[in-house]
């Protein structure tokens, strides 16, 4: 463990947690996340810190300063940090009408964006359904039929996965299903202009769109 990692958490610890996520240090990132919650009594701000850190990672990757491998290490650190604080998150006691299923597709192995959106929905008082990861279009359609969500949210990294979402929508429509689909992430941009889905840039904007849709129906 480095001297920096051994140092006492400065202020609320958010800078240290961010630095550890940027290093891909999943063990110490998870440890510091728990220490922050223990010290402050609130896990909700930690979720914001984790989200902000991954936005930095995304920017560094876009600038070609982080390789795919480095991004995966950062995502692992963020995922581990989120996992340890989720049980400590204070949820909104209000329940907003409407069900949101969040799933990821085959060709998009990274699950952090899915986990982050699920967490944000839980905090916000929405009924969030974990639709699973690495799904085929047929499996997505089956999950929609099973859970009957009002909204399907899908994080997309690759254009291949985006094409699979198009196929999934066709299967959903073929079975008579009617659902709002929100695609988000850098892979979703290839779907801009498609009538069947709303395209958002990241988890936060996807959450905002979901809130806008469901609250307007309340």
**47 and 72 share a domain?**
yes
**34 and 140 share a domain?**
no
Number of domains forming the structure of the chain = 2
Cα 61 to Cα 30, 55, 81, 131, 194, distances in angstroms: 23, 10, 21, 28, 27
Report the side by side order of strands in the sheet with 151-155: 126-135, 96-105, 151-155, 180-184, 197-200
Q: What does pTM read for this prediction?
A: 0.82
4, part of any domain: no
In angstroms, rounded to a whole number, what is the distance separating the alpha carbons of residues 173 and 203?
A: 25
- Could you tell me the residue range of the domain that residue 61 belongs to? 9-88
Instruction: Give me the pLDDT at residue 93, please.
Output: 66
Render pLDDT for 152-199 as a digit per residue (tens, 0 to 9): 999 998 889 999 999 999 999 998 878 999 999 888 988 988 888 999
Q: What residue has token string 């400590």?
A: 88
2, part of any domain: no
Among 54, 72, 88, give the residue marking a domain's end: 88
**207 and 139 share a domain?**
yes
**138 and 178 share a domain?**
yes
């Amino acid at each position: 463990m480095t001297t920096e990692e051994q140092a006492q958490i400065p202020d609320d610890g958010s800078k240290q947690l961010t630095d550890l996520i940027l290093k891909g240090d999943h063990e110490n990132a998870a440890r510091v996340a728990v220490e922050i919650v223990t010290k402050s009594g609130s896990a909700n701000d930690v979720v914001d810190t984790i989200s902000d850190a991954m936005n930095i990672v995304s920017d560094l990757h876009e600038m070609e300063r982080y390789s795919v491998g480095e991004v995966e290490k950062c995502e692992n650190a963020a995922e581990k940090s989120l996992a340890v604080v989720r049980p400590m998150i204070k949820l909104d006691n209000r329940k907003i009408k409407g069900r949101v299923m969040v799933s990821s597709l085959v060709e998009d192995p990274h699950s952090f964006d899915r986990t982050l959106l699920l967490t944000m929905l839980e905090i916000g008082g929405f009924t969030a359904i974990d639709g699973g990861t690495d799904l085929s279009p047929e499996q997505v359609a089956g999950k929609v039929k099973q859970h009957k969500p009002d909204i399907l949210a899908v994080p997309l990294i690759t254009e291949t996965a985006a094409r699979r979402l198009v196929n999934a929508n066709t299967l959903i429509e073929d079975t008579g299903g009617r659902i709002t689909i929100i695609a988000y992430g850098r892979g979703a941009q290839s779907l801009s202009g498609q009538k069947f889905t709303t395209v958002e840039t990241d988890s936060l904007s996807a959450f905002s769109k979901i809130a806008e849709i469901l609250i307007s129906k309340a």
